Amino acid sequence: MTALVTQTDAAPSTTPDTPPASTQGDAPVGLFDAVTLRGQTFRNRLWVAPMCQYSAEEEDGVATDWHLVHLGSLARGGAGAVISEAASVTPDGRISPQDLGIWNDEQVEALKPITAFVRSQGSVPGIQLAHAGRKASTFRPWSEVQGSVPEAEGGWPTVAPSAIAFEGYAAPRELSRDEIAGLVEAFRAAARRSVEAGFGLIELHAAHGYLLHQFLSPLSNERTDDHGGSLENRARLLVDVVRVVRAEVGDDLPLLVRFSATDWAEGGWDEHETATVAAWCRDAGADLFDISTGGLVAGVTIPVGLGYQVPFAQHVRETAEVETGAVGLIVSAQQAQAVVAEGRADVVLMAREFLRDPHFPLRAAAELGVELDYWPEQYLRAPFRVS
């Protein structure tokens, strides 16, 4: 693994002999060691995971002041990267009518001041490109009703690899071969717009039961053509998307893929298939794999607990020999530090803890005894002190 390079006081090494990201010579890597992924340097390994806000301009997918303040505060709080919520590559791919989009130039213009502010705070702005498939056109979580939004109320028909509904949602229509080819082009165009909008990192959302995950899992993909059946066929759409996005953005921009490493269901997608496809995606141009779990089917039993998904990130990292990010109930500085120091993953992505404390990285550094030089000057009367 040579794509992710540890930054120390010495000049960074970019030779093939660069050690894995979990080592810094003989010393373990620290959470606040800077890293370089392709042409982008991140000031630390503590990144903000994508979190849907359901607050875009309705029907338009355009970012609002909420996104500027929300994402900007996370960058100001010291995160190495701030990855925005899932931005749909087509109008019918939004999870809800209030989700972000990246399918037109108006959306790009609204995102530019957000990415500029994130960069001004020393963080790298990232975007997650997505299509919700059969889980699109739903009410946002705090609505009085849940499930699919009727067309009369602003919803739309959904699509999927096969006409199999997610429990409690409207049945989707099976995509045609031409429509699948069109989706590859939509991701390519969205990647181009992401660069225009100022993002320094792109993540492809192939997790949580959304469209790319639906193609991967045999529980949601019953096709009999070259996009169904064998693992190679089920992974074809994702690998094609990785390949065209890499070609579109060039060699310098980091490209991530988010996987659900298991469906937690018998006969479903699992960590072994995840590792295999991660290696294929690496060969197609992906750099790091953000490992979550679940979301494809309802009613499964998930052994939720602190760091419960970290073993999956470690499995994919070691089996596929790729860089990974760990996510899922990582809630303390010591816990996050252990993940990278023990080589279980290369970066840590956190979500709910950032909602509770947008300045978590600044607090975590104090708890770990790390002095940072990127406290906001306006806040210099308030650095955390841990006695």
Q: What is the pLDDT of residues 236-259, one digit of tens each?
A: 999 999 999 999 999 999 999 999
Residue with the larger pLDDT of the pair 213 and 9: 213
Structure-block tokens of residue 143: 């609505």
Assess whether pLDDT exceeds 70 at residue 10. Answer: no
Q: Map residue 46 onto helix, strand or coil.
A: strand
How far apart are alpha carbons 314 and 320 in whole angstroms?
10
Quote the pLDDT of residue 387.
Answer: 61
Q: Quote the pTM value.
A: 0.93
Instruction: Work out the mean pLDDT of the chain and round it to a whole number.
Output: 93
- For residues 157-178, average pLDDT: 98
**Looking at residue 55, what DSSP letter applies?**
-
Q: Are strands 46-48 and 27-28 parallel, antiparallel or unpaired?
A: unpaired
In this prediction, residue 58 carries a pLDDT of: 81
Measured in degrees and rounded to the nearest 5, phi and psi for residue 7 equal: -100, 125
Q: Is the pLDDT of residue 100 over 50?
A: yes
- Please name which of 361, 365, 318 lies closest in space to residue 343, comparing C-alpha atoms: 318
CB contact at 8 A, 337 and 368: yes
What pLDDT score does 383 carry?
Answer: 86
Average pLDDT over residues 271-289: 98
Q: Tokens standing for 249?
A: 């953005």
On the question of pLDDT at 26 being above 70, the answer is no
Confidence at residue 28, expressed as pLDDT on a 0 to 100 scale: 84
Please name the residue ranges forming H helices in 321-359.
333-341, 352-356
Taking residues 178-192, what's their average pLDDT? 98
**Marked catalytic residue, from 54, 169, 210, 308:** 210
Three-state secondary-structure class, residue 167:
coil
Q: Is the pLDDT assigned to residue 165 strictly greater than 70?
A: yes
Mind listing the pLDDT tens digit for each residue in 143-157?
Answer: 999 999 999 999 999
**Which CATH superfamily groups domain 4-379?**
Aldolase class I (3.20.20.70)
Collapsing DSSP states into helix, strand and coil, what is residue 113?
A: helix
Q: What percent of the chain has pLDDT over 70?
A: 93
**Does the annotation mark 210 as catalytic?**
yes
Spatial distance between the Cα atoms of 331 and 335, rounded to a whole number of angstroms: 7
Q: What is the distance between the alpha carbons of residues 194 and 190, in angstroms, rounded to a whole number? A: 6
Domains in the chain: boundaries: 4-379
Please tell me the least confidently modeled range out of 55-59, 157-161, 183-187, 310-314.
55-59
Pairing of β 40-42 and β 34-37: antiparallel
DSSP E strand boundaries for the chain: 4-7, 23-24, 27-28, 34-37, 40-42, 46-48, 81-88, 124-130, 159-160, 173-174, 201-206, 255-260, 288-292, 323-326, 347-350
pLDDT of 310 strictly over 80: yes
Give which of 231, 342, 290 is closest to 47, Cα–Cα.
290
Residue 317 Cα distances to 118, 190, 215, 305, 353, angstroms = 29, 28, 22, 21, 24
- Asked if residue 23 has pLDDT above 60, the reply is no
Q: Could you read off the pLDDT of 47-83 as tens digits, one per residue?
A: 999 999 999 998 899 999 999 999 999 999 999 999 9
Amino acid occupying residue 3: A
- When pLDDT is averaged across residues 167-192 and rounded to a whole number, the result is 98
Higher pLDDT pick, 113 / 1? 113
DSSP state letters, 29-68: PPTT-EEEETTEEES-SEEEPP-----SBTTTTB--HHHH
Number of helices followed by number of strands (H, E) in the chain: 11, 15
Backbone angles phi, psi at 33, to 5 degrees: -80, 130
Residues 6 or more apart from 122 whose CB is under 8 A from it?
Answer: 43, 75, 78, 374
pLDDT, average across residues 91-101: 97
Residue 386: per-residue pLDDT: 67
pLDDT of residue 302 exceeding 80: yes
Read off the tokens for 197.
């909008």
Q: Angle 236-249/271-284 helices, nearest 10 degrees?
A: 30
- Is the pLDDT at 382 greater than 90? The verdict is no
Q: Has residue 198 got a pLDDT over 90?
A: yes
3-state DSSP assignment of residue 111: helix
Strand, coil or helix: 5 = strand
Q: Among candidates 290, 266, 265, which has minimal Cα distance to 278?
A: 290
